[in-house]
Chains A and B, each alone.
Chain A
Amino acid sequence: MKAMMQKMSASRYGLAGIYLLAAALLMLAPMFTSDFRLNLLAKFLAFAIAAVGLDLLWGYTGILSLGHGVFFGLGGYAMAMHLKLQASGGRLPDFMDWSGLTKLPWFWAPFGNFWLAVILGIAIPAVVALFLGYFTFRNRIRGVYFTILTQALVIISVTLITGQQAYTGGTNGITGYGELFGYSLASPETKTALYYVTAAVLVLVFLLARIIVKSRFGKVLRAIRDGENRVRFLGYNPAKYQMAVFVLSAAFSGIAGMLFVLHVGIISPSMMGIVPSIEMVLWVAIGGRGTLIGAALGALLLNGAKSTFSETYPDIWLFFMGALFIVTTVFLPRGIAGLAVDGWRKLRLLLRGKRKEEPDHERSRYSAV
Chain B
Amino acid sequence: MSDPVILRCEDVTVSFDGFKAVQGMNLVLGKSGLRFLIGPNGAGKTTMLDAICGKVKPSGGSILYREEIDLAKRKEHQIAELGVGRKFQAPSIFPSLSVEENLELAMRQDRGITATLRAKLRAADRKLIGARLESIGLGGKQKLRAGSLSHGEKQWLEIGMMLLQEPSLLLLDEPAAGMTDRETEKTGVLLQEIARDRAVVVVEHDMEFVRNFASIVTVMHEGRLLMEGTMDQVQADERVAEVYLGKRREAAC
Contact = CB atoms under 8 A, between A and B. Distances in A.
Instruction: Decide whether A and B assemble into one complex.
Output: yes
Interface of A: 212, 215-217, 219-220, 222-223, 225-227, 229-238, 240-241, 244, 358, 360-361, 363-365, 367
Given A233-B76, A361-B148, 13 more contacts: A215-B117, A219-B101, A219-B116, A226-B93, A230-B94, A231-B105, A232-B76, A234-B80, A238-B77, A244-B113, A361-B144, A364-B97, A364-B144
A42 B96 CA distance: 35
B169 to A, nearest CB: 13
A230 B93 contact: yes
Contacts of A236: 77, 105, 111
A241 B144 contact: no
Given A230-B93, A361-B144, A364-B145, A237 B77 contact: yes
Interface size class of B (residues with CB under 8 A): 20 to 34
Interface of B: 53, 75-77, 80-81, 85-86, 92-98, 101, 104-106, 111-113, 116-119, 143-145, 147-148, 161, 165
B114 to A, nearest CB: 9
Contacts of A216: 104-105, 116-117, 119
A329 B17 CA distance: 42
A233 B158 CA distance: 12
B184 to A, nearest CB: 23
B143 to A, nearest CB: 6
Of the candidates B113, B119, B161, the one having the most CB atoms from chain A within 10 angstroms of its own CB is: B113
A226 B95 contact: yes
The A interface is mostly helix, strand or loop, or mixed, namely helix
A222 B95 CA distance: 10
Contact of A226 (B75, B94, B113): B94
A198 B34 CA distance: 61
A230 to B, nearest CB: 5
A361 B146 CA distance: 9
A219 B94 CA distance: 10
A237 B113 CA distance: 9
Contact of A222 (B75, B96, B106): B96
Contacts of B53: 233
A235 B111 contact: yes
A34 to B, nearest CB: 43
Contacts of A235: 77, 80-81, 111, 165
B216 to A, nearest CB: 25
Contact of A361 (B111, B116, B143): B143
A44 to B, nearest CB: 30
B111 A360 contact: no
Contacts of B76: 229, 232-233
Given A223-B94, A226-B94, A234 B165 contact: yes
Contacts of B86: 233
B96 A364 contact: yes
A234 B105 contact: yes
Contacts of B101: 219
Contacts of A365: 143
B145 A234 contact: no
Given A222-B94, A235-B80, A217 B113 contact: yes
A4 to B, nearest CB: 26
Q: Which 3 A-B pairs have the closest CB atoms?
A: A235-B80, A360-B148, A360-B145
A236 B53 CA distance: 14
23 contacts: A215-B118, A216-B117, A216-B119, A217-B119, A219-B97, A219-B104, A226-B97, A227-B93, A230-B92, A230-B94, A231-B105, A233-B86, A234-B161, A234-B165, A235-B77, A235-B80, A235-B81, A237-B77, A358-B148, A361-B144, A364-B98, A364-B144, A364-B145
